[in-house]
């Protein structure tokens, strides 16, 4: 299914010179996927739970959401809504930090290993 060089308007280019199957099975790539999942899966479950908790309360418990919180004028509903903003920013910033420090170096290593394997295979076939 590799695209030919002449088909300029085609979709994204394939790179048959790389052994993608080996790259996918390399310990470096597996490590990247494992570490990324260890953050993204729990973080996604958490934000969906926090968000739907809020939406379900808004739908089914309007009186609870209308209760006064700490001071007159502020309600539980608004505090929970604002907590969604804080959650979005905090989780986003946390992910950015993890990605810069942890995922990017791992991804670069996995890519490098795959590239090197591709070059060696090319060298052997000559």
Partner 1 sequence: MTPIASVNGTALAVFAVVVGVTLVISYYASKRVHTATDFWAAGRGLTGPQNGFAIAGDYMSAASFLGIAGLIYLFGFDGFLYSVGFLVAFLTVLFLLAERMRNSGKYTIADVLSFRLNEQPARAAAALGTLTVVAFYLIAQMVGAGVLIEGLVGIDFWLSVLLTGAFMITYIILGGMLATSWVQIIKAFLLMTAALVMTVWVLIKIGGNPLDLFRDARAESADGEAYLKPGLFLSTPLDTVSLGLGLVLGTAGLPHILMRFFTVPDAKAARSSVMWAMVLIGAFYVMTTALGFGARAILGQGGEEAAGATGNFALPLLADDLGGELFEAIIAGVAFATILAVVAGLVISASGAVAHDVWSNIVRRGTDSEKEEVWVAKIAAVAIGAIAIVIAVLGGKDLNVSFMVGLAFAVAASANFPALLLALTWRRFNTTGAVTGVLLGVISSVALVIISPTVWPGPNSEGGLFSFYDLANPGIISIPLGFIGCWLGTVLSRERVEERTFDELYVRSETGLGAEAGTGLTLTGRSDGAGSADAPRELAGTGR
Q: Bridge-partner residues for 62, per DSSP?
A: none
Is 50:87 a contact under the CB 8 Å cutoff? Answer: yes
Contact 19, 26 (CB under 8 A): no
By CB under 8 A, tell whether 6 contacts partner 1: yes
* Nearer Cβ to partner 1 (72/125): 72
Chain-centre distance for alpha carbon 4? 32
Closest Cα partner for 88 from 58, 57, 46?
A: 46
Residue number with CB closer to partner 1 (18 or 102): 18
Residues that bind partner 1 (CB under 8 A): 1, 3, 5-15, 18, 20-21, 23-24, 29, 32-33, 36, 40, 43-44, 47-48, 51-52, 54-56, 58-60, 62-63, 65-66, 71-75, 77-78, 81-82, 84-85, 87-89, 91-93, 95-96, 99-100, 104, 107-108, 110-112, 114-115
């Amino acid at each position: 299914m590799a695209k030919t060089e002449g088909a300029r308007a085609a979709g994204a280019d394939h790179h048959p010179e790389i052994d993608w199957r080996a790259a996918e099975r390399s310990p470096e790539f597996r490590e990247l996927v494992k570490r990324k999942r260890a953050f993204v899966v729990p973080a996604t479950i958490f934000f969906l739970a926090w968000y739907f908790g809020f939406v379900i309360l808004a739908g089914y418990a309007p009186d609870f959401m209308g209760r006064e919180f700490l001071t007159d004028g502020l309600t539980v509903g608004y505090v929970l809504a604002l907590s969604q903003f804080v959650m979005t920013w905090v989780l986003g910033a946390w992910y950015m930090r993890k990605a810069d420090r942890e995922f990017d170096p791992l991804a670069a290593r996995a890519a490098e290993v795959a590239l090197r394997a591709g070059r060696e295979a090319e060298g052997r076939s000559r």
